Amino acid sequence: MPGAYGTTVLDSAVHIIQIALTPVFLLSGIATLLNVFSTRFARVADQIDALVKSADSGETRADATLAHRLCVLRRRSRALDFAVVLAASGAALTCAAVLALFVGEAGGPVVATMLLVFFGLAIGCTLAAIGAFTIEMLMANRRVRAEASAESVSAGASAG
């Protein structure tokens, strides 16, 4: 009979570990998102640096244009900041859910409720981070389309 008890405890421990590994995939996805956000923020920072450098050397077209572009870049960086905070919160809540899984074996229904709340909030934060990133991407794409339209108009004018 001791073998049966040991097997039950081992099976229970193995089951808990299997369940706890599932959120690790969410953590991996969130880490990938954070890497993408970081890369996007570096691009925004590079554009700000280029604008400031061109303003210092007197190469800018107009102060109003420079102010507008800096304003758009500032909004994009805020959207990225928001996405990073949400994604990091989602990762922390996922870790809290994993911890609740391990503690849940001894904690009963209160810990089960905590687990559902933590994991639900983690998913919610991750979805909101993706939403904030989508907003930043749309802002960036709007600028690219505007520049492409301006280039095509000026190319058409010089060809005619």
| HEC profile of 110-133 | HHHHHHHHHHHHHHHHHHHHHHHH
Residue 32: per-residue pLDDT: 92
pLDDT at 1: 44
Residue 108, phi then psi, degrees to nearest 5: 80, -150
Q: What is the pLDDT of residue 54?
A: 81
Q: Which residues have a Cβ under 8 Å from the Cβ of 133 and sit 6 or more positions away?
A: 33, 36, 37, 40, 79, 80, 83
Domain boundaries, the chain: 23-153
pLDDT tens-place string over residues 88-139: 998 888 888 777 776 666 566 777 777 778 888 888 888 899 988 889 888 8
pLDDT, tens digit, for every residue of 64-73?
788 888 888 8
Mean pLDDT of the chain: 79
What confidence score (pLDDT) does residue 148 get? 63
Instruction: Give one DSSP letter per residue of 10-36, joined into a string.
Output: HHHHHHHHHHHHHHHHHHHHHHHHHHH
Residue type, 148: A
User: What's the pLDDT score for residue 157?
Assistant: 60
In the structure, what pLDDT confidence band is assigned to residue 39 with cuts at 50, 70 and 90? very high
Dump pLDDT digits (tens) for 108-121. Answer: 677 777 777 888 88
pTM for this prediction: 0.67
Q: In this structure, what token pair is assigned to residue 27?
A: 């953590």
- Predicted confidence at residue 140, as pLDDT, reads 81
User: What average pLDDT does this structure show over 40-53?
Assistant: 88
